Amino acid sequence: MTTGATYSFLVVSCSLVGPGIATTLGNEAGSAEEGISIELQADKNTMTTGADGGYMHSLHAANAGTVTVRLLKTSPQNQILMAAYNAQRISSSLWGKNVITLIQSNADDAIVCTGCAFVRQPNLEYATDGGTNTWTFHSGKITGLLGAYS
């Protein structure tokens, strides 16, 4: 049954907190049209079938994944992220300690990504149109709720 709810990126809040950084990445951060993606690294299940047609499910414990944030070339967040990337890569004691929290309030979604590390600085393109910068993070653990935040 459709409830008539409305989706809008205008109510997506996303924060990144870690060594040397506390910033926003959602609405009003200069996000590109493609926005933010969160993807688990592996399937939660493996199914094994036997010679007689029997089957077995194996539940995997891992919740690691990738968070991708796409920003307009002119977003001031690019400078903040680049400074954090450069500061954190100096020492392994600073690396992989970021937390990314995303809330989409209209749908009551809440996703928390812990143990986040920059994958690399974004590929840079300078062309006729400004384009985007894509920041990718590996997350050791992604947990959350869809439609049950409040």
Q: What is the largest CA-CA distance in the chain?
A: 62
Write the DSSP string, the chain: --------GGGEEEEEEETTEEEE-STTS-EEEEEEEEEESS-SEEEEE-TTS-EEEEE-----EEEEEEEETT-THHHHHHHHHHHHTT-TTTTT-EEEEEEETTTTEEEEEEEEEEEEPPP---SSS--EEEEEEEEEEEEEESS---
User: Average pLDDT of 23-39?
Assistant: 93
Higher pLDDT among residues 27 and 139, named by residue: 139
**Residue 139's pLDDT is what?**
98
Percent of the chain with pLDDT over 70: 96
Q: What is the pTM of this model?
A: 0.91
* 1 has pLDDT over 50: no
**Residue 17's pLDDT is what?**
98
User: Average pLDDT of 43-51?
Assistant: 96
**Residue 65's pLDDT is what?**
97
**Residue 116's pLDDT is what?**
98
* 13 has pLDDT over 80: yes
pLDDT in tens, 83-106: 999 999 999 999 999 999 999 988
**Is 5 exposed, middle or buried, given 0-12, 13-18 or 19+ CB atoms closer than 10 A?**
exposed
